[in-house]
Structure 1
Amino acid sequence: MNDVTIEPFDLAGRAAEALAVQAAAFGLSREEVAVRLQIVSRHALAPGVRAYGAVERSHPGAWGRLVGFAYGMPNDRSHWWSSVIEPHLEANGNGIWLDQSFSVTELHVHPDHQGRGLGRRLITTLCGGTRLPRTILSAIDRDTPARVLYRSLGYRDLANQVMFPNTTVPYAVMGARLPFPPRP
Structure 2
Amino acid sequence: MDDVLVGPLDLAERVDEALAVQALAFGLNDEEIAVRTQIVLRHLTQPGVRALGATTAGGRLVGFGYGMPNDRAHWWSTVVEPYLRRTGTADWLDDSFVVVELHVLPAHQGKGVGRRLITGLTAPVPQPRSILSALDLDSPARRFYRGLGYTDLAHPVHFPSAPVPYTVMGAPLPLRGTGAG
Q: TM-score range by the shorter chain?
A: over 0.9
What letter is aligned with 1:75?
A: N
Q: 1:183 to 1:13 in 2, by over 3 A?
A: closer
Is 1:2–1:57's contact at 8 Å kept on the other side of the alignment? no
Shift of 1:168: 1.1
Query: How many Å apart are 1:2 and its aligned residue?
Result: 7.2
Q: How does 1:32-181 map to 2 (within 5 A)?
A: 32-58=32-58, 64-181=59-176
**Aligned match of 2:16:** 16
TM-score normalised by length of structure 2: 0.96
Q: Could you say what secondary structure the match of 2:119 adopts? A: helix
Percent identity for Structure 1 against Structure 2: 62
**SS of equivalent to 1:159:** strand
In structure 2, distance between residues paired with 1:134 and 1:29:
32
The question of whether the paired residues in 1 share the 8 Å contact of 2:133 and 2:169 is answered with yes
Aligned-CA RMSD value = 1.4
Q: Is the 8 A contact 1:54 1:68 kept in 2?
A: yes
Contact 2:119 2:178 in 1 (8 A): no
Separation in 2 of the partners of 1:183 and 1:52? 17
Q: Secondary structure at the match of 1:42?
A: helix
Over residues 123-146 of structure 1, what are the superposed CA-to-partner deviations in whole Å (9 max), with x where a residue is unaligned? 011001101100000000111111
Aligned residues: 179
Structure 2 unmatched runs, 5+? none
